[in-house]
Chains A and B, each alone.
Chain A
Amino acid sequence: MSMPTNAALTSIALGILLTAAGLAFFWKNSRTPQATWAVTWTAGGILAVTAALLWLAGDDLGMRIIAMAAIAAPLPTRYRHEPAPRRGIPIMLPALALTAYNLPRALDPGRGGALYPPPSLTGALTALGGGMAARALGEALSRLLEPQIPGSWLPDVLALLITICGSSIALINLWRYGSAWGTLPNASGWTAVWIVWAAVWLGKRARPRINAALTALAAAAWIAMAAR
């Protein structure tokens, strides 16, 4: 039985991401950060192509999951000069988990097809925001494990973009369904995700670990909603 293209590409991307994690964990060399960085960008590229193929195939949920993984997979540029390559592993975890989660779905030939409608504006915003949430989750995990790492501007940019995505989804739900929560179960979830993101920013002045834990919670909530 031939393997579907999407499943093959998802497997390859998962393999490449595992290679990147292995490189960062085991390979002690001055070139390790650059090599790991390049490998994660390759995985991100393959995942982006897979997401496009899934979109063409009409698998809305699969497209959302893989698009999130594609956005979350590439390591940030600052990682190229990272003296401790293992610090990149928590950042890769969300992309790894999302790709692994979608693999059984991709291998199931019954998924996708013409059963699903093409992605809507909300679907695109969900995938985009979910990808950034997965990145924010990686950054938060990294800060939770090693709070002494100097801060970067990336979490703030992600928070800004996620706030814009979240409020857009809440406004669309409000005007389309008449309520930001209650009418549809998912609308309540999106409002919850948006509220918890607002709380993350308010709690920014709290201790770094609490802030990182809140960010991880908010990001996980977004990903769980997007992968439903």
Chain B
Amino acid sequence: MYRDYGAVVYRRALRLLANPQDAEEATQEVFVRVMRTEAGYSGKGELIGWLYRITTHYCLNRIRDKRRRQDLFQLHIAPNLSHSASTSPADMVMMRWLLSRADERQAQAAIYVYVDGMSYEEAAPLLGVSKRTVGNLLERFHNWCSEQLRTASASGEIAGPTRDQSQFTARS
């Protein structure tokens, strides 16, 4: 299992945590949890979904670890390919800042839908909720983010290009 899916977990953890050593730790921890749980799964597709769920939970806890926050906001490892498939490092830094403060369930939903690009239908079983609830979680996350950025920008907590609120405006 590690040989088949280790790279999938590692690559995703690297995207979320932005640090190779953290991603390595995450990969180890995810597989330890998988092997200890011994939960049943039917087929490779369900296994990958399970690995995504455990990786999300682990990485989100790391992001929310107050002792580590500063590192996560200062460092971003990104593939050195300048094309449209690559997410802006500044955007991921801002997203981690938000995820570190957001409600945990809302943060999980935001990772699946915004960072992983899942549909509500894909995200719902990973979150263990209905599609409608996914939408509700994201609506609350979006409103909360707008308020956070407005407050942070006004207080000067956010500096540089991310201070511009125009990049994060509530959806209508």
Partners in one complex: no
Chain A residues near B (Cβ < 8 Å): none
